[in-house]
Amino acid sequence: MREVAVIGVGCTKFGEKWESSFRNLFVEAGALALEDANLSGQKIDEIFVGNMSAGRFVEQEHIGALIADYAGLATENIPATRVEAACASGGLAFRQAYTAVASGMSDIVVAAGVEKMTDVDTEVTTDVLAAAADREWEGIAGITFPGLYAMIATQYMHKYGLTREQLAQVAVKNHENGALNPNAQFQKPITLETVMKSTLVADPLRLFDCSPVTDGASAVILAPLERAREFTDTPIKVLGCGQASSSIALHDRKDICTLDATVAAGNKAFQMAKVERKDIGFVEVHDCFTIAEICAIEDLGFCKKGEAGKLTEEGYTALGGKLPINPSGGLKACGHPVGATGVKQVYETVKQLRGDAGKRQLDADIGMTHNVGGTGATVVCHIFGRA
């Protein structure tokens, strides 16, 4: 296998972008990534795009070709493939791009992610997202995604004594980071009281425990490490890559509070990268709900089960803490355009490692991403370092 580097990154601002269409979003992100890599579109060998549900959000399938076409590349006949794994679609698109370059099949490969979620009513969005769970046996019971993660939270609080305040602190911390991120949907700090007094969505989760509905796109460009310096002075190397699956339904997990696919994908990524937990400078984790960040910190092996709430409360995961989690603001503050999130995590990690992260800049050599589909039926992790 060849070593692989990220040579260019681009991301739209995330938010309720009523003025932007599905295709405008990915064209904007793609153009930014190409500009960043100082690359012309004709040099692209292959495109992978993560997208969960354009079919239901904007009634458009056949996304791979559409992207290549509207990127102005129809006459180049570039292979373009859509990748779908619910909210992990973006992370999986990146993994496909990585394996395409590592295998020697393609040289210059784009990994993109896009979701346009605000062209339908909120109730439709809720239903579309519910399709990431088991439609036949969870969907028919009246589940919602906040509801499923709320059931993890109920069990977790019962088992480990996690407090409501500790859970709220995850949102407070991520909004604090998001306030420093010009691409974030929410750029305002919030107080513990804001979270605790927000409306109940699915007990014990409140509105401010949940990531919002968001439009956005992100794109990154990969190349063989040996060619990376043709395009950039600051290539960021992919050190490790791990993907895992688990049961589609939450009720089939051995332990409701453990995302076993996170454990497996994390371990694979660490083994491949040959780095230890203590070497990781920061992690972009999949905090679709506050409880998801608590579980992620533990399931990735950064502390024992039951300890992440206390660590969060003590500031261990804050920007100035020992292990900053979600310096971008995470899904909570940046927003969560489901197909784009996994690629945005890579965007943020590359920005941090290049020293390009502005006011939220950390002093770190190695960063990690963690992208989850559904309640943990798909998880993909990547570890990055400077080349």
Partner 1 sequence: MSVARFWRKQQNRYNLIGTHCETCGRYFYPPRPFCPDCRRDGKIVEHKFKGTGKVITYSIIRSAGDQFKFLTPYPLAIIELDEGTRLTSHVICDIDKIQIGMRVRPVFRKLAEEGSSGAIFYGTKFVPA
Active-site residues: which are they? 87, 336
Distance of closest approach, residue 303 Cβ to partner 1, in angstroms:
22
Q: Of 3, 16, 45, 127, which lies in the binding site for partner 1, with binding defined by CB under 8 A?
A: 127
Pairing of strands 378-386, 236-245: antiparallel
Among 5, 201, 221, 353, binds partner 1 (CB under 8 A): 201
Is 198 among the residues that bind partner 1 (CB under 8 A)?
Answer: no
CA–CA distance, 183 with 100 (Å, rounded to integer): 29
- Contact between 315 and partner 1 by CB under 8 A: the answer reads no
Contact with partner 1 (CB under 8 A) among 61, 76, 136, 276: 136
Instruction: Give every CB contact of residue 136 below 8 A, 6+ residues apart in sequence.
Output: none
* CB-nearer residue toward partner 1: 229 or 251: 251
Cα separation, 53 vs 61, in Å, equals 8
Answer yes or no whether residue 205 interacts with partner 1 by CB under 8 A. yes
- Residue from 2, 74, 141, 163 touching partner 1 (CB under 8 A): that is 141
Nearest distance in Å: CB 132, partner 1 = 13
Reading the block at residue 24, the tokens are 């405008």
- Rounded-to-5 percentages of helix, strand, coil across the chain: 45, 20, 35
CA distances from 322 to 280, 315, 317, 371 (A): 10, 8, 7, 22
Which tokens belong to 242? 């791990």
Q: How far is the C-alpha of 338 from the C-alpha of 26, rounded, in Å? A: 13
Binding range to partner 1, per CB under 8 A, among 63-71, 135-143, 310-318, 333-341: 135-143
Both structure tokens of 9: 């990154």
* The one among 15, 64, 91, 146 contacting partner 1 by CB under 8 A: 146
- Tell me whether residue 19 or residue 121 sits nearer to partner 1 (CB atom): 121
Give the residues lining the site for partner 1 (CB under 8 A).
123-124, 126-127, 130, 134, 136-138, 140-144, 146-147, 150-155, 158, 199-205, 249-252, 256
